[in-house]
Structure 1
Amino acid sequence: MTLRQQVLVLYLSTSALDSPVVGWSRYDGTGATRPTTGDSDEPPYSDGLEALKDGWRLFQVSPLLPPQAGAEYGTSFLKHEFFFEKLS
């Protein structure tokens, strides 16, 4: 049996794994779901710790970057990005 990778990207409200999910993407390399990316209205987990408890392995956390002076309240990309994987 060949293992296939599933990838879950969670954007959290802060850099803490127990903070609420504000955005997400899911990619299923097993071919078990169509489409391969998630498009639900509800996040798959309420926070990053729930994903860990469900067997997802954390393999990347975005670096923490301080805001540029004068841009503290501007909007931009979601900066608290966590990548998880499962092998199935």
Structure 2
Amino acid sequence: MRQRVLVLYLSTSALDSPVVGWARYDGTGRTSPTTGDSDEPPYESGVEALRDGWRLIQAAQLIPPCPGDEYDVSFLKHEFFFEQIVDVRAER
């Protein structure tokens, strides 16, 4: 068994909001993924990932911006971590 990890950055803190960035890690080390390494997101929303069997393991903290920082673009705030446990014997 091994773990796959999916990181989705959503447009808001709601799981049904659109995906704006993503990264996938297959747990093998054979790939070198980077955020947004394809043209299309793997899912349209976090809810769609849940429907496909991904388990939510961490949701973004809701931290209000300081006055004057409402439009700061230094990082993507709404980060969600998902996992899947896959049987490596089934992949052979």
TM over 0.5: yes
Equivalent residue, structure 2, for 1:11: 9
* Percent of aligned pairs sharing the same letter: 71
Give the deviation of 1:37 after TM superposition.
2.2
TM-score by length of structure 1 reads 0.88
Equivalent residue, structure 2, for 1:69: 67
* Equivalent pair of 1:62/1:82 in contact (CA under 8 Å): yes
2:80 counterpart letter in structure 1: F
| RMSD of aligned residue pairs (Cα, Å) | 1.4
Q: Which has the higher helix share?
A: 2
Q: Unaligned 5+ residue runs, structure 2?
A: 87-92
4+ long deviations beyond 6 Å: none
Equivalent residue, structure 2, for 1:87: 85
Q: Unaligned 5+ residue runs, structure 1?
A: none
The count of residues paired between Structure 1 and Structure 2 equals: 84
1:73 counterpart letter in structure 2: Y
Equivalent residue, structure 2, for 1:37: 33
TM-score by length of structure 2 reads 0.84
Whole-angstrom distance in 1 between the partners of 2:83 and 2:32: 14
